[in-house]
Chains A and B, each alone.
Chain A
Amino acid sequence: MDSKLKIKMRGLDVKVFYGGKGALHGITLDILENKVIALIGPSGCGKSTFLRCLNRMNDTIEGALVTGRILLDEEDIYDPSVDVVELRARVGMVFQKPNPFPKSIYENVAYGPRIHGLAKSRTELDEIVEQSLIKAGLFNEVKDRLHDVGTSLSGGQQQRLCIARAIAVSPEVILMDEPCSALDPIATAKIEELIDDLRRNYTIAIVTHSMQQAARVSQFTAMFHLGNLVEVGATDTIFTSPQEQRTQDYITGRFG
């Protein structure tokens, strides 16, 4: 990889156990700043698990144990001195199924800034909400109905609302777990476009089952299989001349 690129996050020998059963068997992986990395691999190989390690969402799962080290700007996020709440504000997450809160569109986006006290006044908050919605490419569609309940939006709009919600707390890294799997092609295209825009300001890790999507949106691709990292590299290289047979097979649809 290019040496002038900055490493934003780095996993070192990350192992995850769910109730004693291993799900990840030592992953070492770098995530570069202002790039999109796609995590691919057959179902159950541990992509979501790895993603959840990056903002410690695994902490909320009963019986989950994470070992190894994960660095964010060279700082171990599993260090006891780290405040999980603060970490999650820096490493935001968008989930597979759109999960807007049962509140208004405005309140959904304002939620994060409110709890973190990012806005000193109402006008500032309005500004943050508007900017987030603009960045998420949703503003024009909802500007007249900001006080409608968020769940009244279409699936694709809901997902962009969730992205806006994540952006609103100004994270440095955005994790996306199959953000388009519940969406139709048009909504998917919109979100892919959005991811490309977001790359300028954020570092993005995205899990996807669509090879086309990985090829379209990512600069780097990491292939997982059975809890192991098979290979990682520039997306072009992975898709044209993978080093590993398993990657080749998966990409061409021979298994998974």
Chain B
Amino acid sequence: MSVSGVILIVLVFGGAGFFLSRARARAIEAHGAKMHSRPHYYGCWTCLLIVLPSLLFLFFWNIGVNIYAERQTLAHISYAAGGDIERSDSYAPLQRILGQKGIASTRQSENYMVQGGIELAAGIKNLRQAGAFAALLLSVIGFLAGFWGTKAKKRARNRVERVTLWGLIVASTFAILTTMGIVLSMLFQTISFFRSVPLSNFFLGTVWDPRFSVMALEGMLGRFGLIPLLAGTLYIAFVAMLFAVPIGLFAAVYMAEYATPRMRGIIKPLLEILAGIPTIVYGFFALVAVGPFLRDLSASITGGQGFIMAQSVLTAGLVMGIMLTPFVSSLSDDIITAVPRSLRDGSLGLGATQSETIKRVVLPAALPGIVAALLLTASRAIGETMIVVLAAGVAASLTLNPFEAMTTITVKIVNQLTGDLEFNSPQTLVAFALGMTLFVLTLFMNIFALYIVRKYQEHYE
């Protein structure tokens, strides 16, 4: 019996349990008993009793079986090969054997593997069968408990409520767990990177020159200075914010305070379309349109060699600014419209003009929210990848000239992780250290944004 078959049976069974219990509850009610809950709650409760324990059991049982299989396989292989094989080298072929119902099919497989594979597969198959039957048994028990438990005094409604609550709790911790998983997976790689490159070289180094991993074998480690990348990242983000913040804020003020509903109905969706364009599209907009335009423009100003390079801080910042504008305006628009009308009335009632009201009452009241929105936008700018990959350049230079190319952390992550990889050389592992840096940077910006919102929120309401 396959796992999906078992799941299907349990679900059908659960449905049946629902109807049967509900019918029973109705019958009891028809006999004149005062039921604690409406009949369908009894149905739901029985259904939950049938489905939940049995599916949870199935899930964990199968995970357990997989772990067991892996252990057994390893033990078997190291035994057969003289106890000296590393896991990652030999496990893959055998996994394939198991995957295909115990028949060896890979080229690298050896005779002893085939035999072991067949034996193991048989054992595991038995384990899975046992699990399936246990799951079915659990669901039957669940049904009996739920069905016979359908009595007038039983608080089915409260129980269903509690299960719902747990469901919600699990769903909300899911995001937290995922984040933790991501951080942990990056953390281990980062740590192994810092085993070969000292912390100070990474965080204080001003030269980025990782070399190739082949060279590393010859004892040349390469230099992994974070500073030029960080500078490039922050510089480009700064230029982007320089474009996006004023334009986005003015657009938001116009939409929230001046625009007629019709105008707003046109502008807002348009801005949202802008926000929906994939960033790679912005990237080649920068690459084929904005970059060459700026270069030619500067060339025609000087009348010879242009002073703006096609790939430059300015190009990337400008296009990223265009990308961020709708975020700024849409977030700020929501925040400005959330300022209570009573504050506006108070100001207008004192004889302030509309623009005075906006400047002196609405914007100050909305400021914490706007600052938080800007921080969120900035952390987007810092993490943005595709635009800078195409428009910023790859040279890790340290310069203040916005017309020259700089590179960013994200660009270098892409560079280090594309092409032929060797997952234990610092050349690759540095990508994880960079990713971790980026993560921490944006995390702190987001936390700071939340802190500002929390701190100042209560001042008007």
Contacts and interface: CB of A to CB of B under 8 A. Distances in A.
B360 A111 contact: yes
A169 B361 CA distance: 17
Given A101-B365, A102-B460, A116 B351 contact: yes
B266 interface: no
Interface residues of A, number: 28
B360 A115 contact: yes
Nearest to B362: A101
B460 A151 contact: yes
Contact of A99 (B261, B342, B353): B342
Given A62-B261, A151-B460, A102 B346 contact: no
A99 B459 contact: no
Contacts of B340: 99
A14 B432 CA distance: 73
B342 A92 contact: no
Contacts of B176: none
B353 A85 contact: yes
A151 B350 contact: no
A238 to B, nearest CB: 28
Contact of B345 (A57, A102, A116, A149): A57
B280 interface: no
B170 interface: no
Interface in B316-351: 340, 342-351
B201 to A, nearest CB: 49
Nearest to A62: B261
Contacts of A101: 343, 346-347, 361, 364-365
Given A57-B345, A95-B346, A115 B364 contact: no
Nearest to A168: B350
A169 B350 contact: yes
B349 A115 contact: no
A102 B460 CA distance: 6
A89 B347 CA distance: 11
A100 B352 CA distance: 15
Contacts of B365: 101-102
B272 interface: no
A169 B364 contact: no
A89 B351 contact: yes
A97 B461 CA distance: 11
Nearest to A103: B364
Contacts of B353: 85, 115
B349 A95 contact: yes
A93 interface: yes
Interface in A166-192: 166, 169
25 contacts: A57-B345, A57-B348, A60-B345, A60-B348, A62-B261, A85-B353, A87-B351, A88-B348, A88-B350, A92-B349, A93-B349, A95-B345, A99-B340, A99-B342, A99-B343, A99-B345, A100-B346, A111-B360, A112-B350, A115-B356, A115-B360, A149-B459, A151-B459, A169-B350, A169-B351
Interface of A: 55, 57, 60, 62, 85-89, 92-93, 95, 97, 99-103, 111-112, 115-116, 149, 151, 162, 165-166, 169
Please list the 3 inter-chain residue pairs (A to B) with the smallest Cβ-Cβ separation, ordered nearest first: A89-B351, A88-B351, A93-B349
Given A103-B364, A112-B350, A166-B349, 11 more contacts: A86-B351, A88-B350, A92-B349, A95-B346, A101-B346, A101-B361, A101-B364, A111-B350, A112-B352, A116-B351, A151-B459
